[in-house]
Structure 1
Amino acid sequence: MGRITFYEDKNFQGRSYDCSSDCSDFSSHLSRCGSCRVESGCFMVYERPGYAGSQVFLRRGEYPDFQRMSSMSGMMGMTNMDNVRSCRFIPMHRGQFRMRIYEKENFGGQMHEMMDDCDNMMERYRMSECQSCNVMDGHWLMYEQPNYRGRMMYMRPGEYRSMRDMGMSGSTRFNSFRRIMDMSEDTNANMTMGKIIFYEDRNFQGRSYETGSDCPDMTSYLSRCHSCRVESGFFMVYDRSNFMGNQYFVKRGEYSDYQRMGMSDCIRSCRNIPMHRGQFRMRIYEKENFGGQMHEMMDDCDNMMERYRMSECQSCNVMDGHWLMYEQPNYRGRMMYMRPGEYRSMRDMGMSGSTRFNSFRRITDSC
């Protein structure tokens, strides 16, 4: 759940209050709050009751003086907090992240859907304001300045028709956005997340862009992408934006030329593939909309026709784990990455009607 201990005075002195959930008003427990220790989990603390006023994100660590919170948190330019009056516990989200940001209130003006961090909204989207948003998946932090600096605001899943309704002044503008992920508790988080570096030119030349998460459009960072290095983790790279077109599975190693990956054009988008530790389960169906023969798989299959006497797989239901489907037997030919979910038609995944899948492999640590 997480655990945070608040103290009346600076440097962890005076009476204390342990908390592992939301608290809308500390005055029921302490007359004031000058410092805290986060023993586990992530929290948002607020300078006013009812989760209002300036807010600061805290993860595991010691915070001996709230008046120096900005320098301790690395959020220069943020208004200092004299006291903490309320807090929210932030549950960890393990799946995908998705948020739509809108230029105007009530979901008006430009709209952009985000699935990863954005360090500068103006540079990426050419949008000067974000006045409303819809958080569909995950928990996010919004920052007043680019590069995750200045005043911040915590956003849980939900519809936010006006930032002013969130207690922000009409002059407040948000310019960068970051997903809240479980980086504080997992010592292997960087390995779980993965790290990939993309380069404009072949053989790792030209400008570069580094990421550990999904990127739906590389053109926000590079004019082209012709090579990449994977330092840790697994990724799927695509030759079209928004995870479409030809796709290729990459693991730790060097990929000096995109054409050797079977890409018709340069790399345009990528997905980070999280590691799954439990069982794997997928049902494959002969026809679209889960029709025809059905077979449930829990391990790799190098030849669907030989094993199941089934010539086509036109829909599937991935229940557990992450999988790769291949056009030819023995894990060869064009491939497609499948996350947990229902897939009623392979054509809806951007594959042509002539594409047939004939072998299937689980994505495991030994890939």
Structure 2
Amino acid sequence: MVHSLICLRNSSVKPGLVPMEMANNQVHQKRRPEQKKNRKKEPQMKSGRDCYYLGIPNSFDHQRLLKSARVCKVEGSNHICFRDKGADNIYDMFHTRYTLYQQAYQHKIVNIIEDKIIKALLEAKDPLEISPISETLSPDDIKQKIENITSSSRKRKMTTHEDEKTAKFIKLTDHIFEKILYSSAHSRKELEDVVMRRLPKCVGETRLQETEEKDEESFKAKWETAVAEWNTRHPDLVLYKEDFSTEVIKLDYNKKAENPINSVYFYRKKQQNKGSKIQKYEISSLLPKKFSEHVGRVYYTKNSDEEEKDAKDCFIWWCLDKCVIELYDQNEFKGTKCVVTGNCSSLDCCSISEVRSCKVIQGVWKLWKGRGYDDYLMKEGEYPNLKALSNSIPTASAPAPAPAPVPDPAWCLECLPFKIHLYEQENFKGQIFEITDDHGCGIKEVRSCKVLSGLWDLYEGPDCAEPHYQLKVGEYPNPGSWGNVNTAPALSVKRMTSYKIQLFEKEDFEEPMHETTVDRHSLDGCGINEVRSCKVLSGLWGLYEGPAYAEPRYQLKEGEEYPNPGSWCASDPNVPARSVKRVTE
């Protein structure tokens, strides 16, 4: 209802709209979790109804849940309790609530239209004599006003002035939309935008990490900083921060970050009049560990497809930790220069047709010779020629050039994000330290970690001193989980950005030998016909018995030597390998 919007906009809580019956063009009030402190059992009623009207699948059995509900005594007070065997169904109910907020109540189009309607109401307040109950309202004020409206006149606690304002307020029904739309008030432009669908475009949304600030001002400041940096790197593509708007929404299971099941009471078959909390061992272990998250969204107000594409590219670049690479179509950083900040499946949209040298300013990048061909993996540094690209060695540490076949130039590229969360205590407790590069973050020691993307090396000693352990994407709650038998913490960490393996045609590392830093779908042109022994100098590698990465596959660890097929646990110790590929995920 429209009068609910005015009431909520003037409160400290951001309002929301839910279009429940779109055929009738009805506007309904959306209640946020902060506004439902005294409506703890509302999800049971709303979820089934809203899923039905919105066409969203409903995973929980609300009829069974309501049939099992009964009032029981808990510590001298009456509480609505449910049967203990229905605990998992309670989780389904709260998850359905989360899904409704994600897909409907907090849908980006719903929020955009909502903000425009509220803005139009506030702008038309004086010209059309639209009068809210109060200029500033808290949730408690709202509750009291609603009680005054719905109660009898003898129970109302209002002065004559407040009673007059309330009488005006309750007349603000949906007809006010058309009243503003067909008036001469300046606010009608906002509603015309809604009717004509002239709405801002959502260029992207991102889940905010635990280490990031969750308030909207901080999110907006970070985005405006990213736009300014984007403009400096793309002088021919200028974006204006005034053309963007941002919002941060919170999604949870109705109890903020807490497990909602901790606030629900249950009864047992043999004690049907006694309510109690459910025990941890009585519920499924396949449940989420977190029950809330914050989502940041960025909207672009201009209706230009080309500028909208630039805004989306800027958002993706920002989410990829601002990866930047400079490409040149000639050796030694000569010729035409092109700055790239995101994935590029083809150079057709760039000012160059091939890459013969490059400078990796930030991030880790892959360069391809073409679809389905070998690629070059490069970390931050300068690569003045194709030989440096092939070896993936920047000039700062490049050896003296040696005669070798000239590799082909690159034609497309991809940015590889790296991110890991480190903890000084086991089981992910204590402060979180987030790392996306090799520069460290001030942590003293690592006793648990979560690898969010990329491959990482953990070292027991400082300054990457051995021994070390290779970690792929996953969670490691203690040193033993990453293979440390003495449970000593790690003292340094580094991204796994280099790959090198020596392949031998005969067992026990007898010549001929071929050394490679890239994937080999076949051994043609390598000087060997098969692999019967190998030495992994850096990185994780997959060894395949067949060409073109045909299974079976065997994973090889960095620093290990494999003198024969049996040492890498081949299905047949007499069968060699015929293709090799880096493990990058």
Shared fold (TM-score, shorter chain, > 0.5): no
Task: Decide which structure has greater strand share.
Answer: 1
Higher RCO by CA contacts (8 Å cutoff, separation 6 or greater):
1
Give the alignment's TM-score, normalised by structure 2. Answer: 0.27
The structure having more radius of gyration, on CA atoms, is: 2
Structure 1 length normalisation: TM-score?
0.40
Structure 1 or 2: larger helix share? 2
